[in-house]
Amino acid sequence: MNGKDHWEGVYGAKASTEVSWYQPVPTRSLELIRAASDGPETSIIDVGGGDSTLVDSIVAEKLGRVTVLDLSGAALARAKERLGPRAASVTWLEADVTRVELPMSGFDIWHDRAVFHFLTDAAERERYAAIAAAAVRPGGALLMATFAPDGPSRCSGLDVARYSPEDLARELGEAFAMERGFRDVHHTPSGSEQRFSFAVLRRRSRWRRPVRAGPPWFAHRRCRANR
């Protein structure tokens, strides 16, 4: 089973409130986005946003123009249905973040609380870091949360990688500088605890993207955008 089929199956089998990562209000992520936002014209991407309620708060609080990217079309459909007419103000991308082509320096804020710890292959993490570095404008913020070193080793039937905030800064590479890192505890709908690491990274203004031989890694674009 490929990654897309796996996640379509997860969202097909469980309600939004039954998945382990569900949060009625994503408090920590909202705090970080509020601090990084410059207002309604701020360009925000929520990577792996799925049917998270984060987009609801971003739209309601007018924190910026938001793009929600997820591998699962079923998850995005749920979020669009929940938002109703407000969904028209959101850009929806059904795509693999390690393969998608995004606008160069197109985002002021990159948020991910759902994807990076599932990338157990080093080549996938390298592609992710390169895409983020190209898509976040110089001076922009990358807000990352993953399972902490003492967090779960598996999630939704898949192995995960675990990180400290400092580990995350190293993985994202020289394009980003860490401003702060901290730990947090998430309480799942079943009542268990999951320990997370958060990192707030800033896109360096003097970083230059490495030149690679051959065709660009995004030559085979696999995304569908719906506004």
Q: Mind listing the pLDDT tens digit for each residue in 141-155?
A: 999 999 999 998 888
What is each CA distance from 81 to 40, 105, 146, 207, in whole angstroms? 23, 30, 27, 40
Q: Name the residue type at position 206.
A: R
Over range 33-50, report the average pLDDT. 96
Residues 6+ apart with CB under 8 A from 154: 160
Query: Average pLDDT, stretch 166-180?
Result: 97
* pLDDT confidence band for 221 (50 / 70 / 90): very low
Number of H helices, E strands in the chain: 6, 10
Q: Tell which phi-psi region holds residue 29, choosing left (phi > 0), alpha (psi between -120 and 50) or beta.
A: alpha
Overall average pLDDT of the 189-197 stretch: 87
Residue 38 buriedness (CB in 10 A; 0-12 / 13-18 / 19+): exposed
pTM: 0.87
Assess whether pLDDT exceeds 60 at residue 101.
Answer: yes
pLDDT at 103: 97
Dist. CA 135–CA 100, nearest whole Å: 11
pLDDT score, position 219:
37
Mean pLDDT across the chain, nearest whole number? 88
Whether the pLDDT of residue 215 is over 70: the answer is no
